[in-house]
Amino acid sequence: MGLGEAAAPGAPATEKARGRTRPADMFAFGGPWGAAGLTIGLPLVVFYLWVCIVDHGGALLWPRSGADLLGLLRRVPLPTPRAVAIYGVWFALQAALQILMPGPWKEGMPLADGTRLKYRMNGWVSWWLTWALVGFAVVTGLLPATFFYDEYGPLLSTVVIFSFVYSGYLHWHGLRYGKDEAVYGNAVHDFFMGTALNPRTGQFDHKLFCEARPGLILWVIGNFSIAAKQYQLHGTISTPMILVCVFHFWYIADYYFHEEAILTTWDIKHENFGFMLCFGDLVWVPFTYTFQALYLVNHPHGLPWWGTAGIVALNLGGYVVFRWSNIQKHHFRADPTRPVWGRPAEFITTTRGTLLLASGWWGKARHVNYLGDLMMALAWCLPCLFGSVVPYFYIIYFTILLVLRERRDHAMCALKYGADWQEYTRRVPWRIIPRVY
């Protein structure tokens, strides 16, 4: 949950174990038909938007006949040996770094049976070592600096296929080794949503690895590779491209610096690991979050100083809200007696024994960290100006995602806390944007 929640001092950290089958009215995303549509449709969306950017300058395509649609489908490239080799080495490298690099072990949030899993936090060293290795590969000629742009289509096809195969493995793994995770009892829906909360092979946590490594780092490296393509084509790297690359680099570097915070996120705490998260981590993040850079390759416009300053200020303001609120939440969960903004923390003690923070940033809105996320998302899109809607795909989709996630969290908390949640929403009435929503 995004809200500030902590266990009361001396309170047991256990919850009643969940059953193996959820009731039918708990289906998410429209049930089996919705899950099937998203499983098929999400990869097509990525391919479609990529074609719009690289073939049509960002203009949206509207197939007017079956022949037009067939021609668009034929534009989807097949994997190439080069793309398969690049991604195979990439994925294996990130897995090896996750397993081998040193880092402190941290406990996750309590599971349904009261136990806590341990996670190795070595993202910071893996992040910088990855940059060193990629830099070495580029300097020595093993890897062209423009590889991500040049191989985008075949790489996308490769990773889409891999995400389906990997999700099939996760589906089997959850059915075979899952514990008390709730499932839906429908194969299609469970493939999409996942059959295990924390699928592991030994100490290797598949969900944490995919959430934190191959997709996130490839996203930022992909941006820099695309910037190299702009330089190759135009002899310059534009100010908007520099802003996008720097904003994304800072965001992910900061993420690894505060890596432990991922253990309290919605995905790690609540979502089973199935196709939805697997595809999102491995495909959606690196291949759609680079759309701004991809668009800017052939739109090397400039920005006035005041425009640049305004975008930087918006990104910085969003970062302050996002990071400060999350750190505040993290500190409250670790020590509820810690002052918030120089005053004793205000909170609601629930009948379950947990505490709901209702002061500081978390007294402004129940998911105020989402506000910071959305401010940064807008700052990442604005450098592209307004010639196409495609570079704004990120904030459009992200707004929908966060609103839906907030609604799901609200429903879960209302069921979980009952009257205590009603009191909390009375104390903190705003969902994401104070005095607006």
Assess if residue 432 is contained within a domain: no
Give the number of C-alpha atoms closer than 13 A to the C-alpha of residue 296, restricted to the C-beta side.
33
Assess if residue 238 is contained within a domain: yes
Q: Based on the structure, what is the number of domains in the chain?
A: 1
What pLDDT, on the 0 to 100 scale, is given for residue 24? 47
pLDDT band with cut points at 50, 70 and 90 for residue 164: very high
Spatial separation of the C-alpha atoms in residues 267 and 277, rounded to whole Å: 8
What pLDDT, on the 0 to 100 scale, is given for residue 37? 96
Spatial separation of the C-alpha atoms in residues 123 and 263, rounded to whole Å: 13
Q: Which amino acid is at 331?
A: H
How does DSSP classify residue 262?
G
Beta-ladder partners of 343: 340
Beta-carbon neighbour count of residue 394 at 10 Å? 18
Assess if residue 307 is contained within a domain: yes
Assess if residue 435 is contained within a domain: no
What pLDDT, on the 0 to 100 scale, is given for residue 323? 92
Spatial separation of the C-alpha atoms in residues 396 and 394, rounded to whole Å: 5
pLDDT band with cut points at 50, 70 and 90 for residue 31: confident
What pLDDT, on the 0 to 100 scale, is given for residue 374? 97
Assess if residue 336 is contained within a domain: yes
32-62 burial: b if 16+ Cβ within 10 Å, else e: bebbeebbeebbeebbbbbebbbeeebeebe
Is residue 16 within a helix (H) or strand (E), and if so which, with residue range? none
- Answer yes or no: is pLDDT of 261 > 90: no
DSSP string, 205-255: EHHHHHHHTHHHHHHHHHHHHHHHHHHHHHSS--HHHHHHHHHHHHHHHHH
pLDDT digits (tens, 9 = 90+) for 280-338: 999 999 999 999 999 999 999 999 999 999 999 999 999 999 999 988 988 888 889 99
Assess if residue 373 is contained within a domain: yes
Share of the chain above pLDDT 90, in %: 76
235: its two tokens: 């002899």
Spatial separation of the C-alpha atoms in residues 368 and 361, rounded to whole Å: 7
What pLDDT, on the 0 to 100 scale, is given for residue 185? 81
What pLDDT, on the 0 to 100 scale, is given for residue 4? 60
Torsion of CA 134, 137, 138, 141, to 10 degrees: -170
Share of the chain above pLDDT 70, in %: 93
For residues 227 and 294, the answer to whether their CB atoms sit within 8 Å is no
What pLDDT, on the 0 to 100 scale, is given for residue 127? 98
Average pLDDT for residues 397-401, to the nearest whole number? 94
3-state DSSP call for residue 357? strand
Average pLDDT for residues 173-192, to the nearest whole number? 84
Beta-ladder partners of 7: 354
What pLDDT, on the 0 to 100 scale, is given for residue 12? 37
Q: Which of 140, 293, 312 is nearest to 229 (CA)?
A: 293
pLDDT band with cut points at 50, 70 and 90 for residue 19: very low
What pLDDT, on the 0 to 100 scale, is given for residue 69? 84
For the chain, the straight-line distance linking the first and the last C-alpha, in angstroms and rounded, comes to: 18
How does DSSP classify residue 339?
-
Q: What is the C-alpha R_g of the chain?
A: 22
∠ CA 137-139-144 to the nearest 5 degrees?
A: 65
Q: Residue 10 belongs to what domain range?
A: 5-427
- Answer yes or no: is pLDDT of 227 > 90: yes
Spatial separation of the C-alpha atoms in residues 212 and 54, rounded to whole Å: 28
Q: Which amino acid is at 386?
A: F
Assess if residue 434 is contained within a domain: no
Question: What is the 3-class SS of 415-437, one letter each residue?
Answer: HHHCHHHHHHHHHCCCCCCCCCC
For residues 428 and 422, the answer to whether their CB atoms sit within 8 Å is no
Q: Which of 328, 309, 330, 332 is nearest to 320 (CA)?
A: 328
pLDDT digits (tens, 9 = 90+) for 326-367: 889 888 888 899 999 989 999 999 998 889 999 999 999 999
What pLDDT, on the 0 to 100 scale, is given for residue 180? 62
> What phi and psi, each to the nearest 5 degrees, are found at residue 329?
-65, -45
What pLDDT, on the 0 to 100 scale, is given for residue 1? 43
pLDDT band with cut points at 50, 70 and 90 for residue 5: low
Assess if residue 397 is contained within a domain: yes
What pLDDT, on the 0 to 100 scale, is given for residue 219? 98
- Answer yes or no: is pLDDT of 433 > 90: yes
> What phi and psi, each to the nearest 5 degrees, are found at residue 105?
-90, 130
